Amino acid sequence: MDRSKKYMNPYLAGFLIGLFMIAAYFFSGEGLGASGALKTTVVAATDVVAHDYAKEAQFFKRYVSSPDQVPIKTWLIFEVLGVIAGAVLSAAIFGRLGSEIIKPPHISNKTRLIAAASGGLLFGIGSQLGRGCTSGMVMSGMSVLSLSGFIGLIAIFGGGYLIAYFFRKLWI
Amino acid sequence: MGPLFPTNIIGEELNLLLAFLIGIGFGFLLEAAGFTNTRKLAGVFYGYDFVVLKVFFSAAITAGIGIYLLSYYGYMDIKEIFYPQTYWIPTLVGGFIMAFGFIIGGFCPGTSICAAATGKIDAIVFVGGALIGIFFYAFTYESLWMNLRESGAMGKVNIAEWLGISQGLFLFLLTVVAAIAFYIVTIIQQRVVLKRNFKL
């Protein structure tokens, strides 16, 4: 079997991710996240380009109002830099590094990329409205038994099953 | 005792270094489990690959039990850690928007960052889309989202307390449900893969 098709046992991977989640909470009091780092990137970029706008606008001002705060140096940014390094390390070990578009054979590259961009756009909006994504809100929320995490779980995965039929041509 | 940074036992620099190291572990495991492959992720919705469900629930249950025990035996003060407040309306609506994002785009933010870092072009495009989505949200926040985002506020709600059962019992039930789900989805996956002769 091709080495690049070999994956870690999912229960072991999940158990170990759970241990890292415990470590994140025990050492830093933080959950594992992803969309929060993207938001920080957007906030920092906007602050660099248009500080006067950012310090007045409703969405931005809670992050950039105090002048000494550097919004980029956050726990989540460092965590996501680690995520990038860890993913590259694993992909290098298993022989999965390399430029490619992953898609079912019957889908054109163009369709896959348009779908990926649209899905990203929706996930970006949804994660802000929902106060976090699958990791930062659902998985971290579930870890501390927050009701919010379980509502998010039902909305994202339950919602996914409700609509999967209508988008099946993208995948099967 | 814990959490160590919020209670000033460790300093900011060590805290950020730990963030980086914990991130490496998280990213490595997501990649090793196959989460940079968009087809494996989407499989959870079409029955041919349930790796997402298996990893996700194993992680949440492990962390849930670990954090509960740390807190129960007094090793960690749960009041000092990040605890998502519940705003049920925007979480439900936002979650449903994210469901569309997942089915159409084939990633969530964490998995797209991993996949983009390892060279998957569809993931790079997804991350770009997500950044544009956040920009769009930020610039239309006051007019479109602000009222909705603040609606349905319930404060910090623990699901076990909300259901009126103990946290230990809730975690036990969650584990039982997950174990049954793992067994059922494994059978479903075998059947779907056989029927469609599905190859990733």
* Same structural domain, B148 and B79: no
Q: Do B33 and A117 touch (CB under 8 A)?
A: no
Nearest residue, CB atoms, B122 vs list A10, A102, A141: A102
Residue A3: Cβ-neighbour burial (10 angstroms; 0-12, 13-18, 19+): exposed
Q: What is the 3-state secondary structure (H, E, C) of A54-95?
A: HCCCHHHHHHHCCCCCCCCCCHHHHHHHHHHHHHHHHHHHHC
Put simply, the answer to whether A13 touches B170 (Cβ < 8 Å) is no
Instruction: Provide the token pair at B34.
Output: 């196959």
3-state secondary structure of B154: strand
Determine whether the interchain pair A14/B56 forms a contact, defined as Cβ–Cβ distance below 8 Å. yes
Mean pLDDT of B80-85: 94
Same domain (yes/no): B78, B5: yes
- Are residues B161 and B145 both part of a single domain? no
In this predicted structure, what is the pLDDT of residue A66?
A: 67
Work out the average pLDDT over A73-82. 95
Q: Which of B154, B169, B187 is the last residue of a domain?
A: B154
Q: Burial, A160: exposed, middle or buried (Cβ in 10 Å; 0-12, 13-18, 19+)?
A: buried
Round to whole Å and give the CA distance between A141 and A139. Answer: 5
Say whether pLDDT at A48 is over 60. yes
Greater confidence (A51 vs A138) lies with: A138
**Per-residue confidence band for A67, with pLDDT thresholds at 50, 70 and 90:** low
Cα dihedral across residues B76, B87, B15, B171: positive or negative: positive
- Six-digit token pair at A31? 């959950």
Are A127 and B61 a contacting pair at CB < 8 A?
no
Number of structural domains found in chain B: 2
Whether residue B22 contacts residue A135, with contact meaning beta carbons closer than 8 Å, is answered with: no
Q: Are residues B114 and B65 in the same domain?
A: no
B76 shares a domain with B2: yes
| pLDDT (0 to 100) of residue B49 | 95
CB pairs under 8 A between A and B: 527
pLDDT, residue B163, reads: 98
B106, B38 Cβ separation under 8 angstroms: yes
Task: Find chain A residues with C-beta within 8 A of B46's C-beta.
Answer: 164, 168, 171-172
Mutation pick from A3, A11, A20 vs chain B, by most beta carbons of B within 10 Å, is A20
B20 with B67, same domain? yes
Same domain membership, residue B122 and residue B166:
no
pLDDT higher than 80, residue B200:
no
Both B79 and B3 in one domain: the answer is yes
Residue among A13, A58, A82 minimizing CB distance to B55: A13
Judgement on whether residues B3 and B76 belong to the same structural domain of the protein: yes
Shared-domain flag, residues B129 and B144: yes
For residue A48, the distance in angstroms to the closest alpha carbon of chain B comes to 14
Which ipTM did the prediction report?
0.96
- Range of the structural domain that residue B30 is part of: 1-83+156-200
Chain B hits for A82, Cβ within 8 Å: 19-27
More confident residue, A51 or B29: B29
Nearest CB neighbour to A130, from listed B25, B98, B167? B98
What confidence tier does B80 reach under pLDDT thresholds 50, 70, 90? very high
Tell me the two tokens of residue A30: 């933080």
How many Å apart are CA A59 and CA B8, to the nearest integer? Answer: 30
Residues B4 and B62 in one domain: yes
Residue in chain B lying closest to A58 (CA): B142
Q: What digits encode the pLDDT tens for the residues B39-73?
A: 999 999 999 999 999 999 999 999 999 999 999 99
Residues B133, B150, single domain; the answer is yes
| Chain B residue with the nearest C-alpha to that of A16 | B59
